[in-house]
Amino acid sequence: MTAADTAEYRIAHLRDRLASEDIAELGVRIEQRGTGVALYGTVSSSACREEIMRLAEEELGGLPLHADLVVVRSDAPEHPEELT
């Protein structure tokens, strides 16, 4: 099997690690895109984002990684929603 063939298993292993290790992050989408892997979603902190990328580089070494991980905002809302 080539690296591309096994990418889906390596992505599954990365998901397992994100769920089971200290980071406990289940909210990130990880998908094969062309010859690389896209990681996207909203995470709780910049430290969390860095840890996800560290684990991704460990598990998916050799595959191009395209990350779009946004740190969640903690501002109060500016407007309510009126439910009439």
Partner 1 sequence: MIRVAAVGDIHLGPDGAGTLRPAFETLPDCADLLLLAGDLTRHGTVEEAEVVAGEVAGLDVPVVAVLGNHDYQSDQEAAVAAALERAGVTVLEKDGVTLQVGGVRVGVAGTKGFGGGFAGRSGGEFGEPEMKEFIRYTRRCADGLRGALEMLAEAGCAVRIALTHYSPVPDTLAGEPLEIYPFLGSYLLAEAVDAAGADLAVHGHAHMGAEHGMTSEGVRVRNVAQPVLGRAFAVYHLPVHAAESDGQAADGDRASVAGRPAGVR
Q: Count of residues for the chain?
A: 84
Task: Kindly state the smallest distance separating residue 21's Cβ from partner 1, in Å.
Answer: 10
Task: Kindly state the smallest distance separating residue 16's Cβ from partner 1, in Å.
Answer: 14
Task: Kindly state the smallest distance separating residue 61's Cβ from partner 1, in Å.
Answer: 25
Contact 52, 18 (CB under 8 A): yes
Which residue lies nearer to partner 1 by CB, 1 or 83?
83
Binding site for partner 1 (CB under 8 A): 22-24, 26-27, 29, 41-42, 44-45, 47, 72-77, 79-84
User: Is the torsion defined by CA of 48, 71, 60, 23 positive or negative?
Assistant: positive
Nearest Cα to 69, choosing from 35, 32, 39? 39
Which residue lies nearer to partner 1 by CB, 40 or 65?
40
Q: Which residue has the tokens 């050799």?
A: 62
